[in-house]
Chain A
């Protein structure tokens, strides 16, 4: 029963991810004084791509691209399976193990590696440049991301007093959340949350850190050779990555616990929309794209040093 409920939930979350993409376009349009597309536009875009049939360039390694897309979908499902989902009174996980926080971080790195594989599979100069830029971005934001995950694990064990085996487990974080009401009450967790928000645009690949897929410079980067259903899967994967990250930040740090399933579901959907607006829409509306060296330097010097400091504070 629980797995059926969870499958329904990720299906709903996927449709919500596409809707969030549309709402994002609508908000940016209104900020620029335009009317903008309907908020369901990204669902139409997604469906349309499955009607298209095109020719594949002879140099393209389709096997690599197909394997990468399958890995991407699997990584997204894996990330969602260890995240809490609203069920009954409180949060529960489909898969729970000691170390599932590490699995979550790994799934995110895997999703970035999928873009790299797609780029190398395309074998066009544009896709290769996109893939190499994605690797540079991955190296710059992954270091602070992992440091923050480690800091979160230590802090949760410190607050709850759970045995050290439960370090890096999502259940320890949820226990700390139910103890504090919301994790933002703790200054260290508040710092971690803010740095994770700053990491957001790079993790989900949105402006100003959509450097690997810069349309105007390298014709959509790693995805330039994709078309039709394969492009549709990549389009869906980008949306699911955004919603998974927003959902992670909302459910683990903020989400208030209520007794009603309906209220929990509503809070999860609206909360992830709110976080998605903060990490995706607002930077996109107010900023242009950075160069790759600016992006890498920013993440290593800003969030990199901040995450190191937070980790040291956690250990002290």
Chain B
């Protein structure tokens, strides 16, 4: 029954690893009344220990690296990581810079990529819902380590 299905309750933790704030604004837009992510059971939580899904933005700066790894380590299993925006996926315009320690997938395994600079709220919502599918596979022990790629408007690539 879907009432007792853990993947219908998605508590997300918004992790900024050194982003320009473009993606952060779009994540907040996905939670506003116009897009209303709460209708899928999505709730923004303050502590990483309460979270199911990490929505990360930014290319992971050298200064932020240690904190980012500690925060991700605090999230209880099963967890899923959604990287939002091109900077988080490849490093974007910051790639190869002296102050960059990322992108995030070189440090921890990532489950969903949402492309765009910044992606639209629709894309971020699809990313979160795909992360819920990843959570279900992880809970059932059937996870294949496939990365899901979402376009900026929400199409699966």
- Interface residues, chain A, CB within 8 Å of chain B? 25, 29, 32-38, 40-41, 43-45, 47-48, 51-55, 57, 126, 215-216, 218-220, 223-228, 231
Contacts and interface: CB of A to CB of B under 8 A. Distances in A.
Contact of A220 (B3, B4, B50, B139): B50
B38 A54 contact: no
Contact of B3 (A43, A51, A216, A228): A43
22 contacts: A34-B38, A36-B36, A37-B39, A37-B41, A40-B3, A44-B3, A45-B11, A45-B43, A52-B77, A53-B77, A54-B74, A54-B75, A55-B76, A126-B47, A220-B50, A224-B46, A225-B47, A225-B49, A226-B50, A227-B49, A227-B76, A231-B49
Contact of A36 (B9, B39, B73): B39
A29 B36 contact: yes
B74 A220 contact: no
What are the 3 closest A-B residue pairs judged by CB atoms, nearest first? A54-B76, A215-B46, A219-B46
Interface residues of B, number: 29
Contacts of B96: none
B38 A25 contact: yes
Interface in B58-98: 73-78
Contact of A231 (B2, B3, B50): B50
Contacts of A44: 2-6, 8-9, 41
B45 interface: yes
Nearest to A221: B46
A54 B39 contact: no
B39 A35 contact: yes
Most buried by A among B45, B49, B74: B49
B33 interface: yes
B6 A220 contact: no
Given A44-B9, A47-B4, A52 B76 contact: yes
A44 B36 CA distance: 18
Nearest to A224: B47
Interface in B2-57: 2-6, 8-9, 11, 33, 36, 38-41, 43-47, 49-50, 52
B6 A48 contact: yes
B10 to A, nearest CB: 9
Contacts of A40: 3
Contact of B73 (A33, A45, A55, A220): A55
B43 to A, nearest CB: 8
Most buried by A among B11, B41, B45: B41
A94 B77 CA distance: 41
A35 B78 CA distance: 28
Most buried by A among B33, B44, B73: B33
Given A34-B36, A35-B39, A219-B46, A45 B9 contact: yes
A57 B47 CA distance: 13
Contact of A54 (B2, B8, B40, B49): B49
Contact of B77 (A34, A38, A45, A54): A54
B67 to A, nearest CB: 14
A228 B41 CA distance: 17
A238 to B, nearest CB: 13
B47 A219 contact: yes
Nearest to B6: A48
B99 to A, nearest CB: 27
A55 B5 CA distance: 23
Contacts of A218: 46
Contacts of A53: 76-77
A246 to B, nearest CB: 23
A17 B74 CA distance: 30
A57 B77 CA distance: 15
Contacts of B45: 215, 220
Contacts of B47: 126, 219-220, 223-225
